[in-house]
Chains A and B, each alone.
Chain A
Amino acid sequence: MSYLFDPGNWEWLITGNNARFILEGFLINLEIAVIAMVFALVVGLALALLRLSRNPVVSFVAGIWVDVFRNLPLIFLILYMALALPISWRDAWEENVPGWAPEAYRSGFVFAALVALVLYNSAVIAEIMRAGILSLPRGQSEAARALGLSYRQSMRHVILPQGLRRMVPATVSQLITLNKDTTLVSIIAITEVMRRGRIVTSSNFFAAVEAPVLHVFVFIGLLFVLVNYALSRLSRRLEVGQRRRVGTEMKEVKGVEDQLLSAEPA
């Protein structure tokens, strides 16, 4: 404990630009998480609709796709994409990254990481959306059809607006998981916060001040706790508001760790 709280061991934080270096890396993690989430929402919606399709072949294939990708470890997908994506694709990314983008994005591996993150998270999101849509009472779609709306119209104007609103809290929860998962891209050599942490601990630019591994990663961990705690408060507030409005709970989605559990006694 005295080792952890010894001010001498924290001196690296105010020396040089170490703190700034790490914070910038952390920002890259948040950016990757947001970008991946945006794409995962779009792809996830498409997958959810395919899975709910009335064509049994389409819904079966979409079901297999979703189940496979959300049951594989994300790190597996990241590593596989880094090794298996055609090099020409990575080159295309490297050539087309805009000049103003931070240096960490220049690597073609960022593209591989984004593909893996979107593959995994879109499958999870698709399952969350499907649960949200299925949690609507049957009467809603039956009434829409009875009023003469086509399948498409009833989806668009009746089912989706309600179903998607129900999945907002679960999506924020998934964003927390995604936020933590972005640290995994450090394994394929993207200089986000974990890599930068290792750089800070291994380089001796300021020979007088040593940055102990333990302290650097405790600091990084605290950054994540701070941001994710704020997000989880947000999602809890959204969920409580939600339940007050519609009076039902989201259906549970299997295999998702950041499941919103009804914390407050009703």
Chain B
Amino acid sequence: MTGFALISFLEEHFDAYASGFWVTVRLVAVSFAIAMAVGTFMAALRVAPVVWLQRLGAVYVETFRNVPLLVLLFISFAGLRRAGVDINAWVAGTASLGLYTGAYVAEALRSGVFSVGKGQIEASLSLGLTYRETLRHVVLPQAFRTVISPLGSLTIAMIKNSAIIGVSLLALGDLLKQARIVSSRTFQTDEAFFWAAVGYLLLTVAATLLVRGLERRFAIRR
């Protein structure tokens, strides 16, 4: 397996890899949006001043964080279909990954909120700001900074987890799926998987660099 053979292998199957790469990118992007929305909502529940709302948020987080993503995919696709719900692969896949990661996002945001000193919250409440205003003007801007890095970690985990969607029962042609198709057609397993690995590493490295850039941009200069 020389470098030249590898490159001509990629040239030959470039279309398959490109379409798989694009599907993976879209899967991650949509799931990320869902995870952020769900995560923000659940984090808000967990820091709400009402006890039963906090409990509700906690149950969500503990359930979706501790269940394997593959189980969620089985429930949301095969399970719901058998139950008569007409759900398509894209919805089931992105919803599973989004809801799963949403639990982690909620935890990250919550710990970000708690990283803002209690004294600051008490001070702003005693200055007459409402709960809402305190959250919006005092807590969230500061929490955002501490949250960049854990959210970056979750995005990387999400890129890796997106491979599970394509591989399990759903008929989505993501990067890994395309690599498997190419591999079964050519019997060149090493070459086929090599280029999928390159694709995933490109995505995770890009995410790492992006997070590092954001961290630097929002760091407090002392």
Contacts and interface: CB of A to CB of B under 8 A. Distances in A.
A72 B200 contact: yes
Contact of A75 (B62, B65, B159, B163): B163
A262 interface: yes
Interface string A62-82: 000000100111111001100
Interface stretch (A14-22, A96-104, A164-172, A222-230): A222-230
A183 interface: yes
B183 A83 contact: yes
Contacts of B208: 254-255
B150 A252 contact: yes
B66 A224 contact: yes
A183 B71 contact: yes
Interface in B36-81: 62-63, 65-72, 74-75, 78-80
Interface in A144-202: 176, 180-181, 183-184, 186-187, 194, 197
A232 B103 CA distance: 14
A180 B100 CA distance: 12
Interface stretch (A44-52, A129-137, A209-217, A238-246): A209-217
A71 B160 contact: yes
A241 B209 CA distance: 34
Given A214-B80, A252-B153, A262-B114, A79 B176 contact: yes
A259 B150 contact: yes
Contact of B82 (A180, A212, A257): A212
Nearest to A218: B75
A73 B67 contact: no
Contacts of A217: 71, 74-75, 78-79
B82 A76 contact: no
A184 B190 CA distance: 21
A56 interface: no
Interface in B67-103: 67-72, 74-75, 78-80, 82-84, 101
A71 B193 CA distance: 15
Contact of A73 (B75, B80, B160, B168): B160
A84 interface: yes
Contacts of A74: 160
Nearest to B167: A75
A265 interface: yes
Interface residues of B, number: 56
Contacts of A265: 114, 118
B161 interface: yes
A151 to B, nearest CB: 30
Mostly, the B contact residues are helix
Given A83-B189, A255-B157, A257-B104, A221 B167 contact: no
B207 to A, nearest CB: 9
B63 A68 contact: no
Given A84-B190, A184-B70, A220-B71, A3 B83 contact: yes
A256 interface: yes
Nearest to A181: B68
Interface in A78-121: 79-80, 83-84
Nearest to B149: A252
A243 B159 CA distance: 32
B61 to A, nearest CB: 10
A263 interface: yes
B108 interface: yes
A257 B71 contact: no
A253 B201 CA distance: 17
Contacts of B62: 225, 229, 232
Contact of A224 (B68, B180, B190, B201): B68
Contacts of B161: 73, 257
A261 interface: yes
Q: Which of B71, B80, B162 has the most CB of A within 10 A?
A: B71
B160 A183 contact: no
Contact of B200 (A71, A79, A183): A71
Interface of A: 3, 68, 71-76, 79-80, 83-84, 176, 180-181, 183-184, 186-187, 194, 197, 212-215, 217-218, 220-221, 224-225, 228-229, 232, 252-259, 261-265
9 contacts: A72-B197, A75-B167, A79-B180, A180-B69, A181-B68, A213-B74, A213-B82, A232-B62, A255-B153
Which 5 A/B pairs are nearest by Cβ-Cβ distance?
A214-B79, A228-B66, A257-B157, A73-B163, A180-B68
